[in-house]
């Protein structure tokens, strides 16, 4: 296989991992005001992701770094072109990350309420905007022959991309509800499980429409298979959630997210950022890539370190596998 194809796959895998992992983090953040009826309940919700959210976010930093290293043109055009959405994502991730650490540092209710708002908004904004961004990548954006973005903010806010934003937000909400049901006990677990089923039905409808629209824009045999797989996994996950098989439900939503992201990348390949204007402006895995020498070094680094990272990150989830409930939350 071409090195550029390997790196296209690796970037896809990194974003897939990011959306599966931070997807439920975002879901927990968005559900904080819904499922957390008092401070103790909200603390239970936050503590389901407490030990892992930071490591989950490193998937984004690694995906961004991999894109920079393997496809500098893609990284440069995308990040300068999608300027304001990325700025909003950064601001959201800043207040959200600080909020997790600072929320419990003072006892006042007003202090906690403010950080709760930060967690909610900081989770909602990226959950929508990542969908908007990836839908635009797939749809294509105005690029000139030098691969410079020549559109404005309005070009990014088209109906298809906005539906993409709704889809990711809905998927992460459902995924988050399923995750909470899997990680908590008592009342929160019950309500999260029930909510997951309700949210899931709407999510499935939105996701199917979005995937069908996606395939009508750009498609390949692999993309069709993956899209069908994503829809089936989501339905299977919901069926499991209905009968309170929480582990299977979580597997279902995780696989659904993975296959939905894979659908986008499969439909995109071999392009990485199509131009909606001049075809010469289109960035592909070949014309956006680094030299074979750089890709070869990066491949070795990835081959050696990725399994190590997966092993210790997986181990963390094992260490904190226990469900928690309000009875486990210490007084201060």
Partner 1 sequence: MQSWGFQVDALDVARWQFGVTTVYHFLFVPLTIGLSVLVAILQTLWHRTGNERYLKLTKFYGKLFLINFAMGVVTGIVQEFQFGMNWSDYSRFVGDIFGAPLAIEALVAFFLESTFIGLWIFGWDRLPKRVHLASIWAAAIGTNLSAYFILAANSFMQNPVGFRINPDSGRAELTDFVAVLTNKVALITFPHTLAGSFLVAGSLVLTVGLWHVMRNRDSTDTGAYRFATKFGAWTVMVATTAVLITGDIQGKIMTQVQPMKMAAAEGLYTTESPASFSVLTIGSLDGSREVFALKIPYLLSYLGTGDPNGTVHGINDLQAQYASQYGPGSYTPIIPVTYWSFRMMIGFGLAAAAIALLVLWSQRKGRTPTSRWLLRAGLVLPVLPLLANSFGWIFTEMGRQPWIVFGEMLTRNGVSRSVSLTEVLTSFTAFTLIYATLAVIEFKLLVRYARAGVPDLTPAPVDDDTDDAERPLAFAY
Q: Which is nearer to partner 1, 81 or 252 (CB)?
A: 81
Dihedral of CA 169/172/115/133: which sign? negative
CB of 292 to partner 1, least distance (A): 10
CB of 165 to partner 1, least distance (A): 19
Return the number of other C-beta atoms located less than 10 Å from residue 26's C-beta.
31
Q: Can you say how many angstroms the Cα of residue 96 is from the centroid of all Cα atoms in its chain?
A: 15
Q: Which is nearer to partner 1, 110 or 331 (CB)?
A: 331
Dihedral of CA 30/34/39/42: which sign? negative
Local structure of 101: helix, strand or coil = helix
CB of 15 to partner 1, least distance (A): 13
Reading the block at residue 251, the tokens are: 């597997």
Contacts of 292 (CB under 8 A, 6+ apart): 3
CB of 111 to partner 1, least distance (A): 10
Reading the block at residue 83, the tokens are: 């300027």
Q: Which is nearer to partner 1, 103 or 175 (CB)?
A: 103
Q: Which is nearer to partner 1, 21 or 259 (CB)?
A: 21
Q: Which is nearer to partner 1, 79 or 213 (CB)?
A: 79
Q: Which is nearer to partner 1, 1 or 321 (CB)?
A: 321
* φ/ψ (deg, to 5) at 329: -85, 120
Q: Where are the alpha helices (DSSP H) in 36-108?
A: 39-49, 53-70, 72-81, 83-102
CB of 303 to partner 1, least distance (A): 11
Q: Which is nearer to partner 1, 51 or 202 (CB)?
A: 51
CB of 245 to partner 1, least distance (A): 20
Contact assessment for residue 143 and residue 273, using Cβ atoms and an 8 Å cutoff: yes
Contact assessment for residue 276 and residue 142, using Cβ atoms and an 8 Å cutoff: yes
Q: Can you say how many angstroms the Cα of residue 164 is from the centroid of all Cα atoms in its chain?
A: 12
Q: Which is nearer to partner 1, 174 or 284 (CB)?
A: 284
CB of 27 to partner 1, least distance (A): 17
CA–CA separation, 272 vs 288, rounded Å? 8
CB of 234 to partner 1, least distance (A): 29
Contact assessment for residue 213 and residue 163, using Cβ atoms and an 8 Å cutoff: yes
């Amino acid at each position: 296989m071409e090195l550029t194809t390997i790196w296209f796959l690796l970037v896809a895998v990194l974003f897939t991992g990011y959306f599966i992992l931070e997807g439920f983090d975002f879901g927990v953040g968005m559900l904080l005001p819904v499922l957390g009826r008092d401070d103790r309940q909200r603390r239970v919700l936050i503590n389901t992701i407490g030990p892992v959210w930071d490591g989950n976010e490193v998937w984004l930093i690694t995906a961004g770094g991999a894109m920079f290293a393997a496809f500098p043109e893609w990284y440069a055009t995308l990040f300068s072109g999608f300027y304001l959405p990325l700025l909003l994502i950064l601001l959201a991730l800043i207040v959200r990350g600080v909020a997790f650490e600072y929320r419990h540092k003072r006892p006042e209710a007003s202090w906690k309420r403010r950080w709760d708002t930060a967690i909610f908004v900081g989770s909602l904004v990226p959950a929508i905007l990542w969908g908007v961004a990836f839908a635009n990548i797939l749809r294509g954006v105005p690029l000139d022959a030098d691969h410079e973005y020549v559109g404005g903010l309005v070009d990014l806010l088209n109906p298809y991309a906005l539906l993409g934003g709704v889809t990711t937000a809905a998927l992460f909400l459902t995924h988050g509800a399923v995750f909470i049901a899997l990680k908590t006990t008592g009342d929160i677990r019950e309500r999260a499980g029930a909510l997951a089923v309700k949210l899931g039905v709407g999510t499935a409808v939105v996701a199917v429409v979005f995937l069908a629209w996606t395939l009508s824009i750009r498609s390949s045999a692999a993309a069709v298979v993956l899209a069908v797989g994503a829809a089936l996994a989501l339905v299977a996950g919901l069926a499991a959630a209905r009968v309170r098989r929480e582990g299977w439900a979580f597997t279902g939503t995780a696989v659904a997210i993975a296959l939905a992201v894979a659908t986008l990348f499969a439909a995109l390949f071999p392009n990485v950022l199509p131009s909606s204007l001049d075809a010469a402006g289109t960035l592909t895995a070949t014309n956006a890539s680094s030299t074979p020498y750089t890709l070869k070094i990066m491949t070795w680094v990835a081959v050696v370190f990725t399994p190590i990272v997966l092993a210790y990150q997986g181990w963390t989830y094992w260490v904190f596998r226990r469900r928690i409930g309000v009875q486990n939350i210490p007084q201060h």
